[in-house]
Every structure is written in C-alpha cells, then in structure tokens.
Amino acid sequence: MNLPDLKQAQKRTKDEIKIIYDDYSVPEGMKNIGKDKKYFVKTYGCQMNVHDSENICAILEDLGYSETLTMEDADIIILNTCAIRENAHNKLFGFLGRVKHLKDEKPGIICGICGCMAQEESVVETLKEKYKWVDIVFGTHNIHKLPYILESAIKNDKQEIEVYSIEGNIYESIPVKRDSKYKAWVNIMLGCDKFCTYCIVPYTRGKQRSRLPKDIIREVEKLVSDGYLEVTLLGQNVNAYGKDLDIDYTMSNLLSDVARTGIKRIRFVTSHPWDFNDSMIDVIAKYDNIMPYIHLPLQSGSDRILKLMGRRYTKEEYINLFNKIKERIPNVSITTDIIVAFPGETDEDFQDTLDVVDTCKFDSAFTFIYSPRVGTPAAKMENPLTEEEKNNRLYKLNELVNKYANLKNQEYMDKVVPVLIEGPSEKEGFLMGYTDTMKLVNVECSEKYLGKIVNVKITSVKTWSMDAKIVD
C-alpha cells in the first residue's frame, strides 16, 4: 500500500472496475460464531460511512451476533473511521484507549477498525506496530469479506489486516440492516474523481464508479414495497453520476426514474456545483417527490482560493447557479460546506467568503478549519496563519451562518409544512422529523403518527429546530 499520490491516482481508468453480484458469502464454520454474543459498531463521518455500517451490522447478524448499544456488553467492537480531518485521528486513538481497557478485563473481545482511516498507510503502520492487540483491520473496498477476515483472525489468533489499495469494484450483494423503517440510504456511486486539493476522499474511497441504473431502481422499488417513504441517494459527488458509465444516462435521468418508482420522498447528497446543470434543476422542479433541498458546498468565496482548491468554479458562477436554483425550484432550501484558513487565505479572501454568505443567506452551513491531509496537494502549501487566527475566522463565519439559519427558520413561523415523523424527540410528548426542506421539527403528537408524512403547523422557532403541532 502506498501514500496517497495525486499523479498515481489520476492515472486510474474505469476499465479496472468490475460490478460483482455474487461475492458475498459466509464460510461454513462462521455461520453461528456469534450465537449468544453481541456486537457494537461505532461510526464516525459522513452518510456513506453510516450506510457502510448498516452493511457491517447486517454481516455481523448473519454470523449470529446481536446488536448492543453499550460497548461494555459487546463481544466484538468495530470502529468505522473517517479520515476527512485530522481530529479523526485523535478520535480513533482515544477510542482505542477505551477498548484496550475493556480487552484487558475481557481478553476474548474482538476489536476491528475499518473505514477511511484504514485506507491510510500511516494508520495501518501504527496499528501494526503499536496496537497489535487490534484483531482485524479492513478497508472501504472489502467490507463484503468481513466473515473471511474474521475467520482468519480467529483461526490464526493474530492480527489480520486486509486493506486493498485498488480503485474499487462495485459489490451488489452485501446485506444491509437499515437503521430506520421509513428512510433509507441508497448508494448511487462510490469514490470520487474530483481531486479537490485538500481532500483525502479520492484516495480513501477510490475512483468514481456509478452503480447501474437498473440496480439502483431495483433497490428503490424493493424499498417502496417494504413500506419505506424516503430515500437519500448517496455519492461524494452525485451530479457526476453516470459519467463513468458507457451509456448515455445522467443524474437527471436517474432522478426521473427514481421519482417514477412512486417513493414519497427523494433526497440526494452531495452535489458539486461543477456538474449541476439545467436539466437537473428542471427535474427537481418537475417531480413533487424530489425534495426541494440541495446541499451545495461552496468551500470558499474567493476565486483565488477556489482555484487553489481545484474547485473549477468562480464565486460568480456559484452565485449564478444558486440564484437559478432559487428561481426555478419554489421553496427550495440550500445548505453548504465552507472551509476557512485554507493555505494562503488572506483577510480579503476570507471577506469574500463572508460576502457570499451574505449574498446567499444559506439555510445552514457546515463550517470547518482547513486540516492538512498527508499526500494531498494542499498539504504541501504554506499556511502561515496562527491557530488563533484560524479560530477567529471560524467564529466569525459561524456567527454569520447562524444569523441566516435563524432568519430562514423564522420564515416558517405559523406556516403549515409536511413532516415525516420518524422517531423520538428530546422533548417529552413530542416526536421528531424533517420537513421537505430538511428542517428539523419536534412535533407534539402521539406515536400513532410514527412513519407518516403529516402536515404540521410551526408554533415556535429556534436556530436549529422548530416546534409544531399536527393540523388535520
């Protein structure tokens, strides 16, 4: 395995990618290995990781294990890691400290590390040298092999590391244990070819590879017949869906076909402004079951920084796209991601970012301080800012983002909006759910509304949530 290498990674070709329909199985001796035993899976990171954990849980249940939400009760503990920012490392090694403690008391516990950090060579080296007691390490490309990896670790009674640094295939037969009975994640593409200069994802998740439309539609149709109301189509960069297929079929074709399955609510994340074309906007506007909610990462409002980031759009192009979406999709809400203190970001560059936030008035934004990732081009760039300056920028940006998030929510006061009631709320006597526009709402209602899309009237509003009551 090698360090992330941009030149090497950009040479990859789609010819190496295979779609495999029958590569998941459980070896004979493993079928009941987890009988009367419990598993605990901890997930960090994006929705893609959350969905991978749904696969991991299903595999562990195939082996006979049952789930526990208390780590101390578990016989097997799996940590699904995220590599996007450096603090992920601290989280992993902090967590391993807790597991070691448990293992000292109960040596039979099996500990596994997987996910994006397992794809990083430096992490694997550290696990090999300093954490020999970690039993299994596997990557993002071989989750389906978990029963075999576990089998070797148990048989040989030694650390089993199996991480592929390949471009990645598509495995269609991995089982899934969905967290919700109403909402489902559906991968439409894996990996990413955009190579934004700060980002580790194209290296940890491999080349962009789209699932075939027929496989996606079949999965959504099955969800509809199982009573699911909502799907979120997942990809690092969903607008580029289909570009790697040999057929003339794009994200707008896929959205129309998914809309025609009759599923009540369709969402999709994440969009890159680069591939967001007019036909996408038309399709979202046309179908009532495609939700008026778009997560459209800006990353920076400075043309100079956007160029250094390799984002391939300017501030003006972003704002034009933003305005076009707002004009054509009534009631749409738009959220974003923003990075501050990218190497070389000046006060003027940062002010440009604040200006775009003032122009777009996002419904909400995830904000981050730039974090260098080894092997990415940006990690080699000079970054003279002090920690204090970085924190000040984040603070200032957050103040502005919060102001607009609150103002946007205020517009909902006394309005009647549809909410899919999906689970318990932190507030007693309330259940929670999201509007079509992805606003978190606590609804005063009884359990009979669980799993239903109901019209509610907003009765009070805060920056990150609203309260509501049912209307007939």
Task: Phi first, then psi: give them for residue 198, nearest 5 degrees.
Answer: -95, -10
Closest by CA to 118, choosing from 142, 148, 145, is 142
Q: Examine residue 194 and tell whether it contacts ligand SF4 (CB under 6 A).
A: yes
Could you tell which of ligand SF4, ligand 5AD, none binds residue 202, using a CB distance below 5 to 8 A set by kind?
ligand SF4
- Residue holding tokens 């990690």? 379
Nearer to ligand SF4, 300 or 442 (CB): 300
Nearer to ligand SF4, 39 or 362 (CB): 362
Q: Which residues contribute to the site for ligand 5AD (CB under 6 A)? A: 84-85, 198-199, 297, 299, 337, 339, 368, 370-371, 373
Task: Phi first, then psi: give them for residue 148, nearest 5 degrees.
Answer: -75, -40
Q: How far is the CB of 340 from ligand 5AD (least distance, A)?
A: 9
Answer yes or no: are the C-beta atoms of 298 and 328 closer than 8 Å: no
Residues in region 210-249 near ligand SF4 by CB under 6 A:
236-237
Rounded distance between C-alpha atoms, residue 472 and residue 433, angstroms: 17
Could you tell which of ligand 5AD, ligand SF4, none binds residue 195, using a CB distance below 5 to 8 A set by kind?
ligand SF4
Nearer to ligand 5AD, 58 or 438 (CB): 438
Rounded distance between C-alpha atoms, residue 103 and residue 167, angstroms: 35
Could you tell which of ligand 5AD, ligand SF4, none binds residue 300, using a CB distance below 5 to 8 A set by kind?
none
Rounded distance between C-alpha atoms, residue 53 and residue 230, angstroms: 19
Nearer to ligand 5AD, 95 or 368 (CB): 368
Proportion of the chain in helix, strand, coil states, percent, rounded to 5? 40, 20, 40
Closest by CA to 9, choosing from 257, 207, 265, is 207
Nearer to ligand SF4, 236 or 333 (CB): 236
Rounded distance between C-alpha atoms, residue 245 and residue 228, angstroms: 28
Closest by CA to 205, choosing from 425, 49, 34, is 49
Could you tell which of ligand 5AD, ligand SF4, none binds residue 368, using a CB distance below 5 to 8 A set by kind?
ligand 5AD
One-letter amino acid for residue 155 of the chain: K
Q: How far is CA 153 from CA 32, 100, 133, 138, 409, in A?
A: 16, 17, 11, 12, 51
Nearer to ligand 5AD, 45 or 112 (CB): 45
**CB under 6 A: which stretch of 147-155, 194-202, 415-423, 461-469 binds ligand SF4?**
194-202
Task: Phi first, then psi: give them for residue 380, nearest 5 degrees.
Answer: -90, -5
Nearer to ligand 5AD, 388 or 426 (CB): 388
- Find the binder of ligand SF4 among 57, 76, 82, 196 (CB under 6 A): 196
Residues in region 271-310 near ligand SF4 by CB under 6 A:
272
**CB under 6 A: which stretch of 173-181, 190-198, 254-262, 464-472 binds ligand SF4?**
190-198
Report residue 377 CA to chain centroid gap: 23
Nearer to ligand SF4, 26 or 196 (CB): 196
Could you tell which of ligand SF4, ligand 5AD, none binds residue 85, using a CB distance below 5 to 8 A set by kind?
ligand 5AD
Rounded distance between C-alpha atoms, residue 204 and residue 118, angstroms: 8
**CB under 6 A: which stretch of 95-103, 195-203, 227-235, 442-450 binds ligand SF4?**
195-203
376 cis-preceded (ω within 30 degrees of 0): no
Spell out, one character per residue from 149 to 188, where the chain touches ligand SF4: x when CB under 6 A holds, - when not: ----------------------------------------
Task: Phi first, then psi: give them for residue 82, nearest 5 degrees.
Answer: -120, 145
Q: Is 394 helix (H, G, I), strand (E, B) or coil?
A: helix
Q: Give the count of residues interacting with ligand SF4 (CB under 6 A).
A: 10
Nearer to ligand 5AD, 45 or 451 (CB): 45
Q: Is 294 helix (H, G, I), strand (E, B) or coil?
A: strand
Q: How far is the CB of 346 from ligand 5AD (least distance, A)?
A: 18
Answer yes or no: are the C-beta atoms of 268 and 255 closer than 8 Å: yes
Which residues in this chain contact ligand SF4 in the complex, by CB under 6 A? 192, 194-196, 199, 201-202, 236-237, 272
